[in-house]
Structure 1
Amino acid sequence: MNNSAKSNIDSLYGALVEAAVDGIITIDEQGIIHSFNQAAEKLFGYKRDEVIGQSVNALMPRHYAEQHDEYIENYLKGYKAKIIGIGRDVPGQRQDGSLFPMHLSVGEALTDSGRMFIGVCHDLTGEKKLLLQLARAEKRFKDIVQNQKEMICRLDEHLRLSFVNQSSVDGLGSAESELIGKNFLDLIDENQRAFAQRSLNALFEAGEGVEELGLLLNMSGTAPDRTIDWTFSALKVSEEFGVEIQGYGLDVTDREAAMERAQYLMSHDQLTGLLNRQALLHRFSKQTKRHETYAVLYFDCNHFGLINQKFGHDLGDQLLLIAAQRLNSTLPDNALIARPGGDDFIVVYPVEHSSDTAVMAAAVIEELQEPYQLGEHLLTVRGRVGIAHYPHDGADIDTVIRMAESAIFYRDRLVDGLGFYNPQQQQTLMRTLDIEQRLRIALDLAQLEVYLQPKFTLADSKLAGYEALLRWHDGTVFVSPGEFIPIAESMGLGPELDRYVLEHVCEALVTAQKAGLSIKPIAINITMRHFGHADFCDFLFSCLQKANLTTTLIELEITEGVLMDREDKTQDNLRTLRDRGIRVNIDDFGTGYSSLSYLADLPVDVLKIDRVFVEGLNTAKGLRLVEGIIAMADAMQLDVVAEGIETQEQVNILKSLDCRVGQGFFLGKPQPIMTALNIPKP
């Protein structure tokens, strides 16, 4: 190579070195610095003129400086390289004496001037800071797992520790601040490092979704030698931090103790230490005695979820721990107690007489409802318990537990928080759940039909309007609205039914208008819960606006329960409807919470006399009641509609009492909405 070419290469090499973002330093076999690039100046705080010709030991703490000289000496004697060609994380020392973390990679070159070593120094300060930020961001996760007996850690893509729980701190023998950012391989016995590195890197390359990696490692980096059985898996933390490896470690130096711990975790709830459901079933099967009766109690805490929402899950966990302790102290020693999840507890224990169960259950409920002092908060929870007995209520314990659980769903049958299972309740519950599930499907598939029942003026039998009714043929089976509507309301489906009817009525009215038909108002029943929704009026008027319908074509029917609802939104909705021209009818008047003071204050237009009173018109008392209702309505300038008219005699009496409008099977039966409105088939 001629001198010109060599000069060009040297110039290019120098430019590359100076452009590098990492510090690059060249030393000879005696550790004397020969070159020091700009990035090294910035990293260590020295000018190159201050360090060239000086020992590289000035750039590292004393302990590492001594090790460095020993490494070079051993390497020159032919010993195995520990840094050269391998790289490792070491501390660097700045001119002001401060230390910083860096990754040192060392290469070797033979030059005209002799053997030279090139060190590339990568500053890890920012990365370690980022790892510490990640550790702080995971504080909640750490709070949950720090008391676990297992060692739990996470490794970044460079196999540095980004998270350790308290068991890892204890087991590895170093403070958390020292472990975060430390290379996990440095904690492993030297003879296992290469294998562990290959295995963990392969797990990283495979990414999420692969099977777990098990490694039995001798940890000798910090603590006294311990053997840890690690299970590693790759998981994606976030878009920012990418994929990490999570490790679970069991100290198996004492294998028997580790096996017992693993078995305990498989059979116990980790928060409370109580049995889990499967373990309870297993224990029961092992110790059940023939011809013995067992009480089965299923405890549930009311509104526990609200406590978690308001005060946080940590405080909720504390409450559950105390509740578990109270159960243990109150129940018999031979009781099996399990926490299946959430705020529920299962108790199974032998009893001489099933009648004794209620006494014990009441005592436990009383204990659980004592106030809980949790820090600065004094909380009280209300509990309920379902009670069943084995084998009286079922042939296997799992079935009896489910029966006890079902007993708490009948809130109206609970006495002092206690509910006893009986077969009829179970059948009713199963029927209710079945109706709910199939009703949801029917709503989604639009399988419910809207019918209209006509209303007539009694004086001349002219059509006055309609009431919209909902009918459901579930396949070939007719489900009575008297059954499915109360179930829908109890399961929170009432608003969905209301919207379903409103939308179908508006569609039919649009079709009738396009056909040039004369249309009378259609009254639609609105459930109490829906009527108080903040968005109810917006939904109603949106339907009318989309269909280009006037408000005079729709009337709303509400029960007397709405009159008792003094919530501001309910009252606002009533006033808004009146202001926008929607007439409001009080349905089934006289059977609920009738109050003249409420009627006088509320903007309603029509009273509908319930069929019960119409049926009693042939008695003197019944006649006076209906006469009184009509007179009261006249005094408050309200229209009256009589429901459930079945005979001509009832029509004649109502006419004599000046009841203007009526409806019932005698006057007209409900028909499908398109038929009732005389809309021709397409």
Structure 2
Amino acid sequence: MAHEIHTDSHVPPPLTPIAASAFHASPTAALVVEISGIVIDANDSVTDLFGWSRTELIGSNAWALLDQPWLHTDAFDEHNVPRPGNHFDREVTVVRRNGEKVPVLTRISRLTDEETEPALYLVSCQDLASAEEVRRRGLAEAEIDQLTECLTRTAFIRHLDEMLSLASLSDVAVALLFVDMDDFKEINDLYGHPVGDALLRHAAREFARVLAEEVADGAGTIGRLGGDEFAIAIPVTEPDAAGRLALTVAERIGEVIRLPFVVDDITLRTSASVGLATFPQDERERSELFRAADIAMYTAKRTRGEQRVFAFDRTMKDGLEAEKAIVRDVRYALAHDSFEIHYQPLVDFTSRRLLGFEALLRMRCTDPTATGPTTEAPARPGPTAPGAAPTTAEAPALRPPDAFLPVAARYGLMGLITRWVVHHATAEYAAVAGLFDPDVRLCLNVPTSDFEAPDFPDLVRGALSDSGLSAHNLELEVTEAEPAGDFPALKTHMDDLGADGISFSLDDFGTGFSCLGLVRELPFSRLKLDRSFLHPSEGYRGRDVVAAIVHLASLLKVNLLAEGIESARQVDALVELGAFQGQGFLFGRPMPADRLADWYREWSAA
């Protein structure tokens, strides 16, 4: 028998534009009701389920439409209903307008706080008979990640949307955490995918355990977004506490993942980078909330230290936009040859003999209005700095390598840049090499990761062949500031290219990774002492350290060259310690290839 529908006039609750849009656009039938069951608002999806229109349902009694005894007893009263921010699910029978009875899963959530009168509730109804809705008492298998038993990306986003819709209708916050497993690819490559899969299952179980321990009633949803990246959404009934709770959960996740995990007698030690953002404090749209948590996680990922948990703030977003602008400029420079190479002389400052030129990359600003760091302020030509660059007014704005190379490395562009530099620097230097003594070298700084690449020897030999530059005029610098990821490949390539007559130097000596091991195992002919050892703040034992390095170089029968020399006082101190080679502004600033001849004439005449 069809139930009677009343059309008493009720005023719908005030909704924010975002909440109202989500409520009315939802494909799930939803009602806003009072404790008595009177419907004060409904969305258009109710027509498909109930048979009555939205306007017909407003003012009717919802409990009369849901044919379940507990709704008509004391089991549902103001003392036994969901608290704000929580909900309970019931399977009931809906009586449609035509009298048909349909099994429905209802979710009843309180929208207003406990002091607001009248109390309002959201009743959402999903047809269990529909093949396209969630199956009875659970999610469809397609929505569960079979490896970790977390929600799939699509299912998680849907759950998050529902959570945000409820939060928009009430004074509830939502904390969103993005979790990325550090070094997961390396674990997969080293031990195989079964071990990597076991680690992901372990991580998912630990995330669930943390939620159960830290969040009231274990509320929260875990999804696997793909690969080794997870997301966690947590409803928080006290909005002011959302950030603190999210941070607590994030830090606990970091702690449990750092604990050793044993699989197949292999002990794994890893870590996780966690970014968090909250609704509505950080963002109010799901897509923007997703992006905010992702930005925070990215910030944690690229921070090499103990701090692997970051909460979103606006400066992160601004910083990411700035990085993207740099990446666009680097890609443009690669496509349009808008890089420049400047050359800084290396000299023996006792004999005034020219040893070589280090190639230093610059990038032209592609936007004439762009602001940001440019090359060092040029000095006027003179006896202590011959061949200085033109003034800023005479030359286009240039960005120094520190302003774009770290970003390029994070976005995987260093290989392309290295290829460009090797070809262009050898060609430019070959055109002027005849002006100098036959043993003056071109020095190219090559990232360790590019040096270890399988095709690196072919790249160098191809550039030498194309330019006509002799292998004896090329010196490749490996920076100690980067760890050697594939040491055997690095050594093999150095031995291979060394047989052709190419020489090698170790840049930034004294500041990086395993310096003595590198010096002992690899065929370096020159160590370049990092400029920090010449700085006044080097420490009270700085002179002793430099003296020890000078002595070490002598024992190893390799040359020692000091970087960053800017004063005659530094030269005197180095000579007193037995070091005679250097580079720095005192001898010459980095300059374009067409200025090298002028610099050399001035240097030779001084």
Smaller-chain TM-score bracket: 0.5 to 0.7
In structure 2, the residue matched to 1:348 is 234
Q: Distance in 1 between matches of 2:264 and 2:347?
A: 67
C-alpha distance 594-419 of structure 1, shift in aligned 2 (>3 A):
same
C-alpha distance after superposition, 1:66-86 (max 9, x if no partner) = xxxxxxxxxxxxxxxxxxxxx
Alignment of 1:649-660 (within 5 A): 649-660=569-580
Q: Does the aligned pair in 2 maintain the 1:319–1:374 contact within 8 Å?
A: no
Distance 1:627 1:385, change over 3 A: closer
TM-aligned CA distance change 1:347 to 1:377, over 3 Å:
farther
Q: In structure 2, how many angstroms separate the alpha carbons of the residues matched to 1:317 and 1:629?
A: 47
| % same residue | 25
1:385 corresponds to = 274
In structure 1, which of residues 397, 407, 410 is the aligned counterpart of residue 296 of structure 2? 407
**Pairing 1:148-547 to 2, within 5 Å after superposition:** 257-258=130-131, 260=133, 269=143, 271=145, 275-277=155-157, 280-301=160-181, 323=204, 327=208, 330=212, 332=217, 334-338=219-223, 340-341=225-226, 343-352=229-238, 353=241, 354-361=243-250, 383-409=272-298, 410-411=300-301, 412=303, 418-475=309-366, 476=368, 477=370, 478=374, 479-512=399-432, 520-547=440-467
- Give me the whole-angstrom Cα distance separating, in 2, the residues matched to 1:622 and 1:381: 36
Query: In structure 1, the residue corresponding to 2:535 is in which secondary structure?
Result: helix
Q: Is the 8 A contact 1:372 1:378 kept in 2?
A: yes
Q: Indicate how the Cα distance of structure 1 residues 424 and 637 shifts in structure 2: closer, same or farther if over 3 A, else same.
A: same
Counterpart residue number, 2:110 = none
Q: Cα deviations across residues 226-265 of structure 1 (Å, max 9, x unaligned)?
A: xxxxxxxxxxxxxxxxxxxxxxxxxxxx996246469999
CA distance in 2, matches of 1:652, 1:526: 31
Query: How has the CA–CA distance of structure 1 residues 649 and 305 changed in structure 2, closer, same or farther, with 3 Å as cutoff?
Result: closer
* Contact kept? 1:435, 1:484, Cα under 8 Å: yes
Q: Which moved more, 1:378-387 or 1:414-423?
A: 378-387
Determine helix, strand or coil for the equivalent of 1:257: coil
- The unaligned stretches of length 5 or more in structure 2 are 1-126, 375-398, 600-606
User: What corresponds to 2:377 in structure 1?
Assistant: none
Report the secondary structure of 1:470's partner residue.
strand
Q: Aligned-pair distance for 1:280?
A: 2.4
Q: CA deviation at 1:526?
A: 1.0
Alignment partner, residue 50 of structure 2: none
- Contact 1:298/1:347, CA 8 A, preserved across alignment: no
- Asked if 2 retains the 8 angstrom alpha-carbon contact of 1:645 and 1:666, the reply is yes
| Deviations, residues 443-477 of structure 1 (Å, cap 9, x unaligned) | 22221111101122212434321110001122234
Residue aligning to 1:574: 494
Map of 1:67 onto structure 2: none
Distance 1:268 1:455, change over 3 A: same
CA 414–294 in structure 1, closer or farther in 2 if over 3 Å, else same: farther
Letter in 2 for 1:458: F
Return the structure number with greater helix share: 1
Q: CA deviation at 1:562?
A: 6.5
Note the alpha carbon deviations across 1:350-369, whole angstroms, 9 max, x for none: 15323233333455677889
Q: Which residue of 2 aligns with 1:17?
A: none
Matching residue's letter, 1:448: F
- Which of 523, 528, 540 is the equivalent residue of 1:603? 523
Shift of 1:379: 10
CA displacement 1:280-326 (0-9 Å, x = unmatched): 2254124435554332222334566789999889x969977994997
Q: 2:556 aligns with which of 636, 648, 663?
A: 636
| Whole-angstrom distance in 2 between the partners of 1:472 and 1:532 | 25
Partner SS for 2:443: strand
| AA at the equivalent of 1:614 | L
> Aligned partners of 2:514, 2:129: CA distance in 1, in Å?
73
Partner residue, 2:532: 612
| Distance in 2 of aligned mates of 1:564 and 1:638 | 21
Q: Is the Cα contact below 8 Å between 2:427 and 2:469 reproduced in 1?
A: no
Cα distance 1:579–1:504, how it changes in 2: closer, same or farther (>3 A)?
A: same
Structure 1 residues 38-75: Cα deviation after superposition (integer angstroms, max 9, x where no partner): xxxxxxxxxxxxxxxxxxxxxxxxxxxxxxxxxxxxxx
The answer to whether the 8 A contact 1:295-1:390 is kept is yes
Do the aligned residues in 2 keep the contact of 1:452 with 1:670 (CA within 8 Å)? yes
Distance 2:361 2:412 in 1: 17
| Structure 2 CA distance for partners of 1:555 and 1:325, relative to 1, 3 Å | closer
Assess if the C-alpha contact under 8 Å between 2:343 and 2:592 holds in 1. yes
With structure 1 as the length reference, what TM-score do the two structures score? 0.53
Q: Tell me how far 1:523 sits from its aligned partner.
A: 0.6
The alpha carbon displacement at 1:395 in A equals: 4.2
Distance in structure 1 (CA, Å) of the matches to 2:172 and 2:252 = 23
Q: Secondary structure at the match of 1:431?
A: helix
Unaligned 5+ segments in structure 1 are 1-253
User: Does residue 661 of the first structure (1) align with residue 550 of the second (2)?
Assistant: no
**Rounded Cα–Cα distance in structure 2 between residues aligned with 1:511 and 1:549:** 9
Q: Deviations over 1:189-208 (max 9, x none)?
A: xxxxxxxxxxxxxxxxxxxx
Q: Which amino acid aligns with 1:465?
A: G
Q: Aligned partners of 1:564, 1:539: CA distance in 2, in Å? A: 20
Q: Aligned partner of 1:335: which letter?
A: G
TM-aligned CA deviation for residue 481 of structure 1: 1.5
Are the counterparts in 2 of residues 552 and 582 from structure 1 also a CA contact under 8 Å? yes
Cα distance change of structure 1 residues 651 and 436 upon mapping to structure 2, 3 Å threshold? same
Could you tell me which residue of structure 1 aligns to residue 88 of structure 2? none
SS at match of 2:454: coil
SS in 1 for 2:585: coil
- Indicate if the aligned counterparts of 2:526 and 2:559 stay in contact, CA closer than 8 A: yes
Helix, strand or coil for the counterpart of 1:667? Answer: coil
Alpha-carbon contact 1:617-1:650 (below 8 Å) kept: no
Contact 1:407 1:419 in 2 (8 A): yes
CA contact (8 A) 2:361 2:400 kept: no
Query: How many Å separate the matches in 2 of 1:563 and 1:302?
Result: 17
How far did 1:500 drift?
A: 1.6
Q: Paired residue for 2:512?
A: 592
Q: Shift of residue 348 of structure 1?
A: 3.4
Greater relative CO (CA pairs within 8 A, separation 6+):
2
Whole-Å Cα distance in 2 between the matches of residues 562 and 413 of structure 1?
A: 13
For the Cα contact (< 8 Å) 1:326–1:368, is it kept in 2? Answer: no
Counterpart of 2:334 in structure 1: which amino acid? L
Write the letter of the residue equivalent to 1:344.
F
Task: Provide the rounded CA distance (Å) in 2 between the counterparts of 1:518 and 1:371.
Answer: 59
**Which one-letter code corresponds to 2:292 in the other structure?**
M
Q: Secondary structure at the match of 1:664?
A: coil
Q: Distance in 1 between matches of 2:261 and 2:348?
A: 64
Range with bigger deviation, 469-478 or 288-297: 288-297
Q: After superposition, what is the alpha-carbon deviation per residue over 1:338-359, rounded to whole angstroms, capped at 9, x for unaligned?
A: 5555543341311532323333
